[in-house]
């Protein structure tokens, strides 16, 4: 609370230290910029309303043609973008595989090697367990048959 009061006091002191003409120039600049932007905003709104008033009947008249045309253009654009994206993805993957196979160590190769070694280790463990189970099971059958 004391810090807030101190900052407020410093701001007031700073404003009092500035010459009056400097404060007037700042205020005039702010009013001019704000007024200009407000005027521009109003002109844009008026232009938009006028354009919609003129264009709405044209949209209604041409809607049987425009709606299917817009749908067709949207589908074509989506198709081309998807096709291009899939193409870039395929080229990226093929490039990565080529660099991996040729030993150039692309990003993520360490993780792939780690995962491959972990899977190989688990596969060896499973193989050993299956062999162990098979030997036990075969030994049990031999004892039962004798």
> Do 68 and 61 meet the contact criterion of CB atoms below 8 Å apart?
no
Question: What's the full length of the chain, in residues?
Answer: 146
Residues with Cβ < 8 Å from 108, sequence gap 6 or more?
96
For every one of its 146 residues, what pLDDT tens digit does the chain have, with 9 covering 90 and above? 556 555 655 555 555 567 888 889 989 999 999 999 999 999 999 999 999 999 999 888 988 998 899 999 999 999 999 999 999 999 999 999 999 889 888 898 889 889 989 999 999 999 988 888 888 766 655 555 55
Q: Where are the domains of the chain?
A: 108-146
Phi, psi dihedrals of residue 108, rounded to the nearest 5°:
95, -5
């Amino acid at each position: 609370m004391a810090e807030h009061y101190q900052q407020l006091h410093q701001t007031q002191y700073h404003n009092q230290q500035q010459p009056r003409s400097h404060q007037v120039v700042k205020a005039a600049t702010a009013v001019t910029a704000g007024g200009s932007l407000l005027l521009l905003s109003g002109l844009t709104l008026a232009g938009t309303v006028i354009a919609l008033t003129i264009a709405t009947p044209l949209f209604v008249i041409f809607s049987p043609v425009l709606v299917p045309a817009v749908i067709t253009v949207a589908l074509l654009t989506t198709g081309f973008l998807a096709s291009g994206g899939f193409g870039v993805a395929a080229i990226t993957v093929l490039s990565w595989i080529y660099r991996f196979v040729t030993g150039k160590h692309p990003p993520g190769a360490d993780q792939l090697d780690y995962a491959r070694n972990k899977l190989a280790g688990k596969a060896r463990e499973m193989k050993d367990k299956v062999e162990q189970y098979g030997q036990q099971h075969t030994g049990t059958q031999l004892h039962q048959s004798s």
